Amino acid sequence: MVEKMNKIINTVIIMLLFCGVLGCTESQKSVVDSDYTNSIGMEFMKVPAGDFMMGSPSGEEDGDSEEGPVHKVTIEESYYLGKYEVTQEQWREVMGSNPSNFKGNDLPVEEVSWNEVQEFIEKLNEKEGTDKYRLPSEAEWEYACRAGTTTRYYFGDDESKLGNYAWYRDNSGRKTHAVGQKKPNPWGLYEMHGNVWEWCQDKYYSDYDGAPSDGSAWEDGSDSFRVTRGGSWLSDAGVCRSASRGSYEIDYRNYFLGFRVLRKL
């Protein structure tokens, strides 16, 4: 029994070293096991409850006033977050169509508005017989992206290493790429930096003054703009930081704009 357990532990260590040193390709995505997989193959990683300091600290390179003030957020309950951005194959399985500009089953779906994403989530819940799927709040997104880190990116401050973790302006060839080809963050989430901007549930505010401290979505007021996170294949390195924010109107769609899904435990 002890010998068998040691063998399993050694295998896991080798897999983690392989993924950390060489990076995970499409064929290696299973190296970091998923915590939950639904009926259409959407894989999720468990994000533990905890607290973090949200926003970019004063003096952070490429930081912006809209990313402050830095404030403590407490995530009281664990949740599942999509291991990858929602793919075109998954969108087609639920919606019966593919609106994307760059075609490919394993490419992230794009050209989807916030309103259309809400329709996808409604249909996904129906398909799965649950009400547990939704967009992450902006706080839940940043908390999961940082994965316990406080640096500009989830791998550190050195943007010269970004190409190992993200598809962005300098390495994307001006297009999206299949999910899971870059290195994951410490919690096993892929391409939280780059590839496509990701819709969040929150309405957009110019800073965090008055933002919820419990990780819930900030949806007061009548503003029709919603938050996007993570940067895209078209973004420069500074825009792909963990604290970086964007926003678009709820009916806006473009070929750099997609999403990933949260599932409640």
Helical packing angle, 88-95 and 114-128, nearest 10° = 70
- 137-159 average pLDDT score: 98
- Which amino acid, 256? F
Going through 106-159 in order, the beta strands assigned E by DSSP cover 133-134
Partners of 241 in the β-ladder: none
Convert the pLDDT of each residue in 241-256 to its tens digit: 999 999 999 999 999 9
Asked whether residue 19 carries a pLDDT value surpassing 50, the answer given is no
DSSP 14-56: HHHHHHHHH---GGGGGGS--SEE-TT--EEEEEPPEEEEESP
Give CB contacts under 8 A, 24+ apart, made by 19-22.
19/183, 19/184, 20/183
> Cβ(258)–Cβ(198) under 8 Å?
yes
Q: Comparing C-alpha atoms, which of 241, 221, 53, 19 is closest to residue 152?
A: 241
Compute the radius of gyration of the chain from its Cα atoms: 18
pLDDT band at 114 (very low <50, low <70, confident <90, very high): very high
What's the CATH number of domain 24-264, 3.40.50.800, 3.10.129.10, 3.40.50.10800, 3.90.1580.10?
3.90.1580.10
For residues 12 and 110, the model is more confident at: 110
Q: What is the pLDDT of residue 112?
A: 98
107-131: average pLDDT: 98
Tracing tokens 């006033």 back to the chain, one arrives at 65
For the entire predicted model, the pTM comes to 0.88
Task: Tell me how many degrees the CA angle 55-199-118 measures, rounded to the nearest 5.
Answer: 140
Task: Please list the residues that pair with 71 across neighbouring strands.
Answer: 54
Task: Say if residues 62 and 206 touch (Cβ distance below 8 Å).
Answer: no
Domain spans of the chain, in order of start? 24-264
Q: How far is it, in rounded angstroms, from Cα 209 to Cα 224? A: 19
Dihedral angle of Cα 17, 21, 23, 24, to the nearest 10 degrees = -10
Q: Please state the rounded mean pLDDT for residues 108-128.
A: 98
Mean of pLDDT values over 175-193? 98
At residue 160, the 3 state secondary structure works out as: helix
Identify the H or E element spanning 80. Answer: strand 79-82
The first and second tokens of residue 63, run together, are: 């930081």
pLDDT of the residue at 32: 56
What stretch of H or E contains 246?
strand 245-249
